[in-house]
Structure 1
Amino acid sequence: MRTSIATVCLSGTLEEKLHAAARAGFDGVEIFEQDLLVSPDSPETIAGLARDLGLSLDLYQPFRDFEGVEEDRFQQNLVRAQKKFELMTRLGMNTMLLCSNVGTATISDDGIVVEQLRRLGDLAQGYGIDVAYEALAWGRFVSEYDHAWDLVRSADHPRIGTCLDSFHILSRETDLSRISEIPGEKIFFLQLADAPALSMDVLSWSRHHRVFPGEGAWDLTDFLTRAALTGYAGPVSLEVFNDSFRQADTQRTAVDGLRSLRWLEASVAADVDIRDVAARGDDAGGGARAGGGDAARDDDAGAAGAGSGIALDLQPLPRVAAPSGIDYVELSTDDLGTLTRQLHQLGFRFIGFHRSKQHVQLWRRGSARIIITEVEPDSARGTFLRGIGFEVADASASMDRASLLHAIEVPREQTHNDEVLRGVFAPDGSEVFFHQTTGDDPVWIAEFGAGGVERSSHIDHINLAQPAHHYDEAVLFYTSLLALEAQPSQDVPSPAGLVRSQVMSSPDGAVRIPLNVSPTRTAEVTDRGTGAVGESYPEHVAVACEDIFAAAATALARGLDFLEVPQNYYEDLEARFALDPQLLERLREHNILYDRDEGGEFLHFYTATIGSVFFEMVERRDGYRGYGAPDAPVRLAAQHRRNAGR
């Protein structure tokens, strides 16, 4: 599948954007007009740079406010178009995007629009240029893709086709069934953008909140599958207007964009195969959910769509299933005594030092395993979450998939008798390792001289802080590499402002990763632990136990510094749930918080923060599936008071 990206997606100069797109691996780019206008380089120089970088220049855009006007203005518009065609010739480009008129249209007459499109096609013919007519969602008279297609079809000109843009179509919730009516050769260009589900005017939504495929709320697998089934054979391009993207690192954003397309491509490959099988009456394809992602499908059988008229060369990715659990959490610290003392207070026991790395040790509580790496004070300051090991069915396939999705492998020192473990960096700088599921203790534990399976406790969830500029990238990362599913996001109030939180989880809930963006955390997290203590929004590891009161009693006896819960909370708790007075008193005595939903109960307590890490002990009763979200403001306020010395 030929990939392309609009230069408007990226920060920097036009030249920097071209270099970033090429290094990321895109086949081509769309030139956004403003990027060219502010460049000191001539069109010929830009064309030469693109050739040298191996990039095709796929689309010149946008050309606005053309059709649906009186004849005198239309003549002026033809002159404008001619100048743009001449410029495109200098660039060596042959496709221009024509947006439906927003600002100057005065005639709501399809017949006149058709005639004007036809006359534009005659002009374009002399320059060998194709015009892709796109319905903007806020167009004056043309705002739906099917209306734009009806006009293009009526114009019946070889140089006039249509552009399908997922944002303009999906934001209006337009019926997609008519996409199948459009011949693939009359779709002159295809643009993709995802978006979060927001209630706001569509223009603001479009200009500020688009994201890459897989980072929003829309089913782009279904959308692209429908376009592919028309026989469309051109580039699949990203057109994303996003304030954060245009402030972020150019290269990093380009890589994130290509990852989104490769993930979507594999999802569509699987979807096309399923629809192709269903069309032949094979029951093996029945019941599949279109657009549900490729991770759970058999998508390693080669390019898809051989019998379905698909012109796009859709390449699959190695199949992976969501992780079955958390193998370990690794923490780095320059305050080893404080951290290990807190682990002991929580009921963890010391297993041993790594046989070849004496600065690495293992602690465990049941099957909850914490690896601690002691670092020199000049290497990192404070305590921070370094990485997570995920239990997967096929570690080699997971690593291969991650590599194809442009994740960077973590360099790892190991001796000849160490277990070979491989992982990649997550967008926040943490390490993600893939560990083969065995059903017993993982093989690597023997490197710490430990054995014996314990099942009384496990990692319930891991709460990760994310830099605001790369929050959407993190959602895509965990979706595309680990087949986790994004749950609806929510905002949690804190003394510093709202904290945005979104849970990434496996379908069975065995792996839960809440991602948080703090209003005070504005610096990018590329080297965890290099900032001063207190600069980072804290992260935490939640450990499930069978008896929260026993865990709290042990912790209290061992001198744990609990995060204090105010009396006001318990008075409100009594009012909300009418708890038994004895239970309420036990909760208050142990600084335990409480929540309830239709499934069951959730009891939990927090430790004080060490560096940027703290722990949570939890007990789930009778199928409770949440995370105690109503209690999060209490925790955030208590941490704020503690950090302020109050």
Structure 2
Amino acid sequence: MSSTPPLLASCWTHAGDAAPQTEDERSPFDILERVRAVAESGWSGIGLVHADLIETRRTIGLQRLGSEIRSSGLEFVEVEFLGDWWTSGKEREASDRVRRELFEAAEALGAQTIKVAGKMFSRDVDLSVMATEFDLLADEAREVGSRIAMEALPFTNFSTIGEGSRFVTDVGNSNGGIIVDIWHVYRAGNTPDDLLTDMNPDYLFAVELNDALEPSPPYEQLWDDTVDQRRLPGEGDWDVPRFINVMRELGFSGPWGVEILSEEHRAKSLQDEVTSAIRAAQSVFAAADRDGV
């Protein structure tokens, strides 16, 4: 029997025809219907993106959404996505607005995790400034009952999990850690076993599963690859069961996120999105159990 742990459906896994870094990131699906579909299909948690949270606040209100999440039995919540949190000037003004709104939503919904990232498509950043600001960001998140989980993406200044892990370790704030997405591992040219030496388990806050085909595309095509070409866990070329067992060896116990971003997934109905993703996740956990024996 598979020991499938609690699973969290990331915001894009149940968003329908919506994608990050587009003009309008709002899902075409009703937010309450999404919560119910996620809960009824067996998930233990849900992720929500900033654009949908702002639309929710404008319409039914965050308290209504929080009530629905709690009554549905969903235990885990994450909100995203914050960038430019270390900057100044107009960039910082825009980032601070998103920051306030994400913190407001995290508090209202009881979110355990707020996702952030480093500098996109550039390594030109003062790490000492970034470290100071990350420390402050983590402290502020603690005040609303949440934690900061930074994604180390191949197209940011933290291009590998190892770089991101060293950064948060050096900062040393117990409320600021790393989210490890299997996509960011393989597309950075690493393997799951590299994480046994590259990742400080004390700062391993969240994990996300998906899959993809090899070979990896050129750097210039990585963004399109991550947004349009992901596969359900077990339907690509990666050793997802080994990744799961490495995360277990590092001490991670969940909830495990499932983040599916693809043209194929966005074309599905809401029900097909959530059921296909959770069934695929359950299958790779069963395989991980067999491999780990």
Taking structure 2 as the reference length, the TM-score comes to: 0.84
How far apart are 1:264 and its partner, in Å? 1.0
Aligned equivalent of 2:13, options 9, 15, 31:
9
Partner residue in 2 for 1:191: 208
Matched, 1:121 2:138: yes
Contact residue 31 and residue 57 of structure 1 kept, 8 A? no
User: Rg larger in 1 or in 2?
Assistant: 1
150-159 vs 41-50, which deviates more?
41-50
Structure 1 Cα separation of the partners of residues 270 and 97 of structure 2: 35
Aligned equivalent of 1:51, options 70, 73, 89:
70
- Matching residue's letter, 1:94: Q
Matched, 1:240 2:260: yes
CA deviation profile, 1:134-154 (whole Å, cap 9, x unmatched) = 112211x22211101110000
Contact residue 2 and residue 27 of structure 1 kept, 8 A? yes
Matched, 1:221 2:241: yes
Contact residue 9 and residue 240 of structure 1 kept, 8 A? yes
Structure 2 Cα separation of the partners of residues 207 and 35 of structure 1: 18
Contact residue 78 and residue 106 of structure 2 kept, 8 A? no
Matched, 1:35 2:55: no
Structure 2 Cα separation of the partners of residues 145 and 41 of structure 1: 38
Where 1:149 maps in the other structure, the secondary structure is: helix
Contact residue 158 and residue 164 of structure 2 kept, 8 A? yes
Structure 1 Cα separation of the partners of residues 175 and 204 of structure 2: 11
Structure 1 Cα separation of the partners of residues 193 and 228 of structure 2: 28
Taking structure 1 as the reference length, the TM-score comes to: 0.40
Gaps of 5+ in 2: 17-28
Q: Name the one with the larger strand percent.
A: 1
How far apart are 1:36 and its partner, in Å? 2.7
How far apart are 1:19 and its partner, in Å? 1.6
Q: Which has the higher contact order (CA 8 A, sep 6+)?
A: 2
Partner residue in 2 for 1:92: 110
Structure 2 Cα separation of the partners of residues 210 and 106 of structure 1: 25
Structure 2 Cα separation of the partners of residues 159 and 109 of structure 1: 22
- Matching residue's letter, 1:121: A
- Matching residue's letter, 2:196: S
Contact residue 80 and residue 102 of structure 2 kept, 8 A? no
Percent identical across equivalent pairs? 19
How far apart are 1:112 and its partner, in Å? 2.5
Contact residue 78 and residue 120 of structure 1 kept, 8 A? no
Q: Name the one with the larger helix percent.
A: 2
How far apart are 1:156 and its partner, in Å? 0.2
How far apart are 1:213 and its partner, in Å? 0.3
Structure 2 Cα separation of the partners of residues 106 and 142 of structure 1: 8
Contact residue 44 and residue 76 of structure 2 kept, 8 A? no
Alignment of 1:415-564 (within 5 A): none
Contact residue 82 and residue 95 of structure 2 kept, 8 A? no
Aligned length: 270
CA deviation profile, 1:95-151 (whole Å, cap 9, x unmatched) = 100122216x78433333222211212222322220001112211x22211101110
How far apart are 1:35 and its partner, in Å? 2.8
Partner residue in 1 for 2:42: 25
Contact residue 5 and residue 28 of structure 1 kept, 8 A? yes
Gaps of 5+ in 1: 274-646
Structure 1 Cα separation of the partners of residues 273 and 95 of structure 2: 36
Structure 2 Cα separation of the partners of residues 78 and 86 of structure 1: 12
How far apart are 1:33 and its partner, in Å? 2.3
CA pair 49-246 structure 1, distance change in 2 beyond 3 A = same
Aligned equivalent of 2:160, options 144, 149, 168:
144
Partner residue in 2 for 1:270: 290
Contact residue 82 and residue 98 of structure 2 kept, 8 A? no
Partner residue in 1 for 2:280: 260
